[in-house]
Structure 1
Amino acid sequence: MSFTKHIFVFCFLCCSLFANAQIDTTAIKIKELSIQEGIYNPLSPSKAAFYSAVFPGGGQIYNKKYWKAPLVWAAIGTATYFYIDNGNEYDRYRTAFKLRAQGLQDEFTRDDGSLILSTASLESAQTTLRKNRDLSLLTGILLYVLQIVEASVNAHLLQFNTDDNLSIRPTFQPDKMLVEAPKVGLSLKYSF
């Protein structure tokens, strides 16, 4: 009794795997018309890259991904801020070092002649601030290039067909060589 139930359930599952719903032909016709009318634009990625190169975030706005533009501005603005801040601090310590080398009083020397920072500390601060300034510049350039690449790639990907008609079809295939000792296997086929 239970064996026949299992066979019935197995046959029911096999038959139900190939059941299909009706296909909406209007959606297919609309997609065909949109391709024929020229919605596919092969120059769109280069336009997005150009707009991003001229104005950071412009390619994201061109791609209608408006939420990405403030992120680009914040990232590049942060790198610019740290570049300017580290540059100003470097100039401050460099000026103090030059004044001290000439025997003049700098901002890190008290009125009585005692030192707040030693000359070695001024040199170390200059080295650190110069490295931080250069790293900020490199980060800003990298972010600038990355936002151009992101706009171009996003424009490429916007032109792909991403409809919901993705399906998986499992199929069962008997082994024709071993008829007396059947094997059960499962094969999955997917198509786009």
Structure 2
Amino acid sequence: MHKYLFLIAFLLAFVGVKAQIADTTKQRSKNDILNAHRDSITSKPFKPTVKSLKIYHPDSTHSPRKAVIKSLSFPGLGQIYNRHGIWWRLPLIYGGLGALAYNIYSNGKDYNVFLKESEWRAHGRIGDEPLPYYQGSPITNIADQTIYDYKDNLRRNRDLSIFGFILVWGVNAIDAYIDAKFTHSYSMDNDLSFKVTPSLMGNPATGPVYASNFNYSFTPSLKVTFFLK
């Protein structure tokens, strides 16, 4: 009898627990199922974006010789041919050459004035030649030594300006060659690595190191090694 009572109580408890569990499958409507299916189709898998860096490869058709010839024939043509850094190279080239050309002209003009006056004072004025003027004033009342000093200074400034003009023209050609050489022969990318290691650097002031030289000093340092791949 007690066995049957225990079995009946167990069945009643099982039925009560099952009744308390909500049936979630019956609560989902047809629209919910369609929306879930649509979302699974339209959604895309997540892919992390990796920013690719631009790599410059060598251009075998770019001629450094042609860049030099263009720059020697006319300043700035080699830089225009290289198409790199034109916005700041050309103003520097033309600005430097223009300033030097103006100095050559102004110093040369004033030099000729003082040269003529110094020749007149050494050999005498011939005929009714016009008086020499410097900065709007005649220089006939200036002392002889001052005339000679001005003449020498103006000639030196003119010669230095000519030398600077030639130098800037040459630097312009060298710059065009180097830029064209890098474009022609070398790649420029971010494939660069380096290694930093601690090191000891000897002090040359203490002399060479020997087994018996205990006064030789070392200086802690860092050794940086670059790897070009």
TM-score in same-fold range (> 0.5): yes
* Paired letter, 1:48: A
Cα distance in 2 between the residues matched to 1:188 and 1:82: 47
* Aligned position for 2:171: 146
* Paired letter, 1:44: S
For 2:97, what is the secondary structure of its paired residue?
A: helix
1:128 paired to 2:164: no
- 1:44-99 per-residue CA deviation (whole Å, 9 max, x = no partner) reads 11111011011101111111132211211111111111111110000011122233
* Aligned position for 1:60: 79
Give the counterpart of 2:96 among 75, 98, 101.
Answer: 75
* Aligned position for 1:49: 68
Cα distance in 1 between the residues matched to 2:172 and 2:183: 16
* Aligned position for 2:106: 85
Cα distance in 2 between the residues matched to 1:122 and 1:139: 26
Looking at secondary structure, tell me which structure has more strand per residue. 2
* Aligned position for 1:14: none
- TM-score relative to the length of structure 2: 0.53
Could you tell me whether the CA contact under 8 Å between 1:94 and 1:126 is conserved in 2?
Answer: yes
* Paired letter, 2:175: E
* Paired letter, 1:156: K
Cα distance in 2 between the residues matched to 1:88 and 1:149: 31
Closer, same or farther: CA 120–147 of 1 in aligned 2, 3 Å: same
Counterparts of 1:1-192 in structure 2 under 5 Å? 39-41=59-61, 44-64=63-83, 65-67=85-87, 68-100=89-121, 101-103=123-125, 106-107=131-132, 116-159=141-184, 160-168=186-194, 191-192=227-228
For 1:56, what is the secondary structure of its paired residue?
A: coil
For 1:116, what is the secondary structure of its paired residue?
A: coil
Percent sequence identity is: 27
Cα distance in 2 between the residues matched to 1:55 and 1:84: 20
Closer, same or farther: CA 120–51 of 1 in aligned 2, 3 Å: same
Closer, same or farther: CA 144–169 of 1 in aligned 2, 3 Å: closer
Could you tell me whether the CA contact under 8 Å between 1:58 and 1:69 is conserved in 2?
Answer: no
- Structure 1 position 164, deviation (Å): 1.1
User: Which consecutive residues of structure 1, in runs of 5 or more, have no partner in the other structure?
Assistant: 1-23, 109-113, 172-186
Closer, same or farther: CA 164–102 of 1 in aligned 2, 3 Å: same
How many pairs align?
142
Could you tell me whether the CA contact under 8 Å between 1:167 and 1:191 is conserved in 2?
Answer: yes
For 2:141, what is the secondary structure of its paired residue?
A: coil
* Paired letter, 1:74: G
Could you tell me whether the CA contact under 8 Å between 1:166 and 1:191 is conserved in 2?
Answer: yes
